[in-house]
Amino acid sequence: MSTLLDDRTEARARKLATAPIAVSLSGVSKTFRLPHQRYSTLKERALHPFRSRTFDELRAVQDVNLDIRQGEFFGIVGRNGSGKSTLLKCLAGIYSADTGTVTVSGRLAPFIELGVGLNGDLTARDNVMINAVLLGLSRQQAKERFEDIIAFAELEDFLDLKLKNYSSGMTVRLAFSVSVQVDADVLLVDEVLAVGDAAFQQKCFEQFQRLKDQGKTIILVTHDMAAVERFCDRAMLIEKGEVLSIGDPHDISRAYNELNFGRLQHEGVERGRSGDHAAAEIVEAWFESGGERVGALAQGEHLEIAMRVRFHDTVENPIFGFALRNEMGHTVFATSSALRNLETGTFHAGDQTVVRVGVEHRFAPSLYKLTPSVARAGAGADALDMREDLTQVMLHATVTSGGLIDPEHTFEVERG
C-alpha cells in the first residue's frame, strides 16, 4: 500500500475522531412477541375468549449501544436473522424500540430500501416524481432534479415506458438514482450493492465515495465484505440481536467469515482410496490452527495440515505427502517428505505417527480438500495408502483478488 493512501486514511480517522456524533443508540432493545396461537379473526377471539394467550419472545435486538460520528461510513454485518434489519428499522424510526433511545442529529433519510412505492403500471416519468416525493423531496424539487435523476440512471430512452416492462436492473437504477437525490445528512442503506450490472455498480460506488466526501453519514447493512472493507470506516458485527464487536472493517469482516464458516463441520467426502493400506494406513487427517482443529480459517493465519498414520508392518523411510485442491479441482499446493529430502526413519507394526506441515494461509478463498498419502520409498513410489479428498477446510478471505493465491507482495510505481 502506498503511504499516500495511508496518510489519507489516517487524516480521515483523525477527523472522524473529533467529529460530532450523528447517530447515537443507547440501550436499544426490540422484542417481538410471537403468539403460539394467533387469533386472526374476531370469530376465533369471540369463541375462545379465555384460551390462554401464550407466546414466544423473539429478542431481535438486545441492548445495542453505538455512537456513529458525523461523516462516518458505518457498516452493519451479520448473518440472516441476526437482527440487522430490525436495528436499521429502529434507527429509521419505522419500529419503535422497546427500551433505549435513538438520537439522530440532522436530517435522516426516511427509507431503508430502494424502490419503495414504485408502481409497475405507471411510466418511469410518473414514478420518478412520485418516488421523489415519497422519499422526502417537495414537488418543486422533484421537478428541478428530474433531468439529473434520469441522466444518472441512463434511462432517457425509456421515459414513457411502463415500469413493469423494465428489466429488474433498470428498475434498480431508477430507484437508486432517485434515492441519491434525497437531501439527508444520514443515509440508511440496506443491501444495495448486489444489483445492477458492473458499470452501474461502479457508478454506485463512485456515488458512495462522493457522499462520503461530502461528509454524509452513511449506515450500510450488507453481506458484501468487500464493500465493507472498501467503504466503511468502522463496522459492527451483530449476531442473535447482540453486538459481537464494533471496530475496524477488516477485523469485522474476518469475524463475520469465521461466524459463517466456523460452524460448518467440514467432514470431507472421501473420493477414492488407492493402495492396499495393508502395511500402513492413514487413520485420519485434519487442519489445525493455534493448536486447535479447525474447519475454517481466515487468510493470513498459520495453517497446519496433519495426518495420523498407523503401521501394520515394517516400513523404511516412508514418504508422507499432502496435496491441497480447491473447489475447481486444481491442486494449489502439494508437498511431500521426498520433495523436502526428509529421512523419515523406520516404522514397525503397531507404530503410530502424526505428520504435520505448516503453511501460511495465503490461498484464495475457497473450500480446500486434502489428499494425504503414504508411499514406500524408492523408484515408482509405490502407494501404501492415499485417501483422496479425505477432509476439507474453508479458507476465507475478506477480499477476493481473483488469483489462486494471494502471496505477500510489494507494489511500487516508479516514474521515469
Name the residues that contact another protein, by CB under 8 A.
Answer: 32, 39-43, 45, 89, 91-96, 101-106, 108, 110-113, 116-117, 119, 121-122, 126, 130, 133-136, 138-139, 185
At closest approach, how far in Å is the CB of 110 from another protein? 4
In angstroms and rounded to an integer, the radius of gyration of the C-alpha atoms of the chain is 28
Residue 265 vs residues 3, 260, 296, 305: alpha-carbon distances, Å: 41, 11, 9, 17
Say how many CA atoms lie within 13 Å of 71 toward its Cβ. 12
E strands present in 213-290: 217-221, 234-239, 242-247, 272-274, 280-289
Q: How far is the CB of 68 from another protein (least distance, A)?
A: 13
β 21-35/55-69 pair status = antiparallel
Q: Choose between 112 and 252: whose C-beta lies nearer to another protein.
A: 112
Nearest distance from C-beta of residue 184 to another protein, angstroms: 11
What is the nearest approach in angstroms of another protein to the Cβ of residue 361?
Answer: 41
Determine the angle formed by the axes of helices 124-134 and 139-153, rounding to 10 degrees.
Answer: 120
Kindly tell me which of 21 and 259 has the beta carbon lying closer to another protein: 21
Could you tell me which of 272, 290, 288, 264 has the C-alpha nearest to residue 367? 264
The minimum distance between CB 121 and another protein, in angstroms, equals 6
In the complex, minimum distance from the CB of residue 154 to another protein, in angstroms, rounded to a whole number = 25
Residue 126 or 154 having the CB closest to another protein? 126
Distance of alpha carbon 149 from alpha carbon 132, whole angstroms? 10
Nearer to another protein, 35 or 169 (CB): 35
Which is closer to another protein, CB of 89 or CB of 234? Answer: 89
Q: 95 or 205, CB closer to another protein? A: 95
Q: Of the two residues 110 and 300, which places its CB atom closer to another protein in the complex? A: 110
Q: How far apart are CA 158 and CA 165, in angstroms?
A: 10
Q: Residue 249 corresponds to which cell in the numbers above?
A: 472493517
Task: Kindly state the smallest distance separating residue 113's Cβ from another protein, in Å.
Answer: 5
- Nearest residue (CB) to another protein, 117 versus 403: 117
371 touches 388 (CB < 8 A): yes
Grid cell in block for residue 221: 447493512
Least distance to another protein, CB of residue 40, Å: 5
Phi-psi category of residue 290: left, alpha or beta, with phi > 0 → left and psi -120 to 50 → alpha: left
327: nearest Cα among 282, 266, 257, 238: 266
How far is it between the farthest Cα atoms of the chain?
90
Q: How far is the CB of 93 from another protein (least distance, A)?
A: 4
CA distances from 178 to 175, 316, 392, 410 (A): 5, 74, 46, 42
Closer CB to another protein, 189 or 225, in the complex: 189
